[in-house]
Amino acid sequence: MSTILITGGAGFIGTNFILDWVKNTDENIVNLDKLTYAGNLHNLVSLTNNPQHIFVQGDICDSERISTLLERYQPRAIIHMAAESHVDRSIHGPEYFIQTNITGTFRLLEAARHYWGDLSVSRKENFRFLHVSTDEVFGTLTKDAPAFTENHCFQPNSPYSASKASSDCLVRAYHHTYGLPVLTTHCSNNYGAYQFPEKLIPLMIVNALAGKPLPVYGDGQQIRDWLYVNDHCQAIRVVLEKGQPGETYNIGGWNEKSNLEIIHTICDVLQQFQQKDYRALITHVADRPGHDRRYAINAHKIERELGWRPLETFETGIRKTIQWYLENHDWVAEVQSGDYRKWVEINY
């Protein structure tokens, strides 16, 4: 039975990816995750007795651990998602971002290079290292500038985006120097089920439902592209199976929206579900230092070359997301109380 190794599979995108993978393929998935505050094993509780999902608690900075896992499970691919991912946290404590996003990626690449070098010719040819990155590496755009293409230069502005850009450069170098068959994806902002409520969309939903203020950074006119997480997961699968080694692919939702527009939409959809006025909770707070004004992603290449396009519009995706948070009070309560950490001891 063939196997893939995923890093960071207990996080937001990893959870959605694994649940979808297990539902739609027969292939085993080894999930290496350190379980930082952002990793939640309860998300994967439905797979506890499913031999297709093998969970391993471990750090991507631990070279020996990674090499042992590669030798033991002989994956045909690595999908690298583990990262420190929250921009605000990177402003207050950049060290973890350097450690995991740069050093961790380097250690993973090193282990992958040695493992790949020892594979038979045919397995070597088919092996892939897929690095999941972000559009934030490209920096900020003015209002009317064309969207980022794959060739846009890196101009990261936060410790988070700088650490991701560094990891992208390492991944690129391992292809050019050693021939490692890498693929890199640059995706815009994701939203959907299981997202930790420190990120914009779940924070607004959770605060609104609790009657708490909805904090908007500055004037709220910062523009982002938004992609429903299940569409991102499909795109990763398409890139893994059809992408050209050494290439990078932008992934986006064709949904450029300002933060304030997003918050208004959440308030309005919630109002339809709950018959309450949520816009009154909106509160403007001091802007984030170095806050990028606009990201926009040109995702023509992945559509043209690999045939992928998102299925959800923002309007359909946000309704599904809000519905999920309304139906999963217990998940939110567990995350807020810290009880989700107990799932490590209970299940593994």
| Phi and psi torsions of 344, nearest 5° | -65, -50
Annotated catalytic residue within 33, 84, 160, 312: 160
Annotated catalytic residue within 59, 84, 136, 231: 136
**Which single residue brings its beta carbon nearest to ligand NAD?**
11
Q: In angstroms, give the least distance from the CB of 86 to ligand NAD.
A: 7
Q: Which is nearer to ligand NAD, 243 or 278 (CB)?
A: 243
Q: How far apart are CA 54 and CA 65, in angstroms?
A: 15
- Which amino acid, 241? E
44: tokens are 């994967």
* 160 in active site: yes
Q: How far apart are CA 160 and CA 197, in angstroms?
A: 18
Q: In angstroms, give the least distance from the CB of 311 to ligand NAD.
A: 18
* 136 in active site: yes
Q: Which is nearer to ligand NAD, 252 or 281 (CB)?
A: 252
Q: Specify the residue for token string 């282990």.
A: 111
Could you tell me which residues come within 8 angstroms of residue 324 by beta carbon, excluding any fewer than 6 positions away? 192, 193
- Which amino acid, 304? R
Q: Which is nearer to ligand NAD, 279 or 341 (CB)?
A: 341
Q: Which is nearer to ligand NAD, 156 or 181 (CB)?
A: 156
- Which amino acid, 210? A
* Residues paired with residue 116 on neighbouring β-strands, in sequence order: none
Applying CB under 6 A, the residues found at the interface with ligand NAD are 7-8, 10-14, 33-36, 38-39, 59-61, 81-85, 100, 104, 132, 134, 164, 187, 189-190, 196
* 135 in active site: yes
Q: How far apart are CA 162 and CA 181, in angstroms?
A: 23
- Which amino acid, 159? P
Asked whether the beta carbons of 244 and 34 are under 8 A apart, the reply is no
Q: Which is nearer to ligand NAD, 61 or 109 (CB)?
A: 61
Annotated catalytic residue within 135, 168, 225, 292: 135
Q: Which residues are tagged catalytic?
A: 135-136, 160
